[in-house]
Amino acid sequence: MKVKVISVLEDNYMYLVIEESTRQAVAVDAAVPKRLLEIIRKEDVVLRAILTTHHHWDHARGNEELAQLFPGLQVFGADERIGALTHRVTHGQELTFGAIRVRCLFTPCHTSGHMCYFMWEDDSPDAPALFSGDTLFVGGCGQFFEGTAEQMLINLTQILGTLPKDTKVFCGHECTVRNLKFALKVEPENEAVKEKLAWARVSVCAPCASPIHPFCPKFPLQPHPCSQ
């Protein structure tokens, strides 16, 4: 399972998840069709489906255009407000795309219909991946537009917090440094936050807002490729 990280808009991420044996792919939060199509052509893959975490335009804007370009394209999500939605999913539901398996994890708060997607391949040495949309970021979480702090706490501790420790997190926005600066103001003596902020400052490229991925919370310190 190969994950292509695609930086779009001001600080958003789209993702293209590729099953390498068949060259079929699934997109996550296809907000900018033109950019996604460039990557699809470059990787020489066939787009089978779109997984949308929530209905906000910067995550779902490209669904209708892509559905027109690819007749029969499946669009998954948990909110009827998602454009071109063909399959409404529920918490714990599992999907299969070739060897790629997906578990849907319902995390309402940022929006009332927010869904995260946990992916893995059976019998693969690769670590599983979480596509967390606007629920979980590095050093923070999404704004509570349609939910409560109690809901977000459940999302982070009881749902996402119980995933395997080696899970690689692919979030919906690049706001790592900003989140950690805020955390350091709240807890100025927190050594873990200081260490993580130091990591983020060398791992996130300000000009292109692009991190070193996979964005695991314990990813080792190293310079961003743009700085080399």
- Residues 19-57 pLDDT 10s: 999 999 999 999 999 999 999 999 999 999 999 999 999
pLDDT at 5 over 90: yes
pLDDT at 209 over 50: no
pLDDT at 224 over 50: no
> Higher model confidence: residue 109 or residue 208?
109
Distance, CA of 10 to chain centre: 16
Active-site residues: which are they? Answer: 54, 56, 58-59, 110, 134, 173
Report H helices in the chain. Answer: 33-43, 57-60, 63-69, 149-154, 176-186, 191-203
- Give me the chain's average pLDDT, please: 90
Distance, CA of 154 to chain centre: 19
Q: Please give the share of the chain, as a percent, with pLDDT higher than 70.
A: 89
Distances (CA, A) of 128 to 19, 103, 164, 173, 188: 13, 11, 8, 20, 33
The pLDDT score that the predictor gives to residue 205 is: 54
CATH classification of 2-173, choosing from 3.40.50.1820, 2.40.50.140, 3.30.830.10, 3.60.15.10? 3.60.15.10
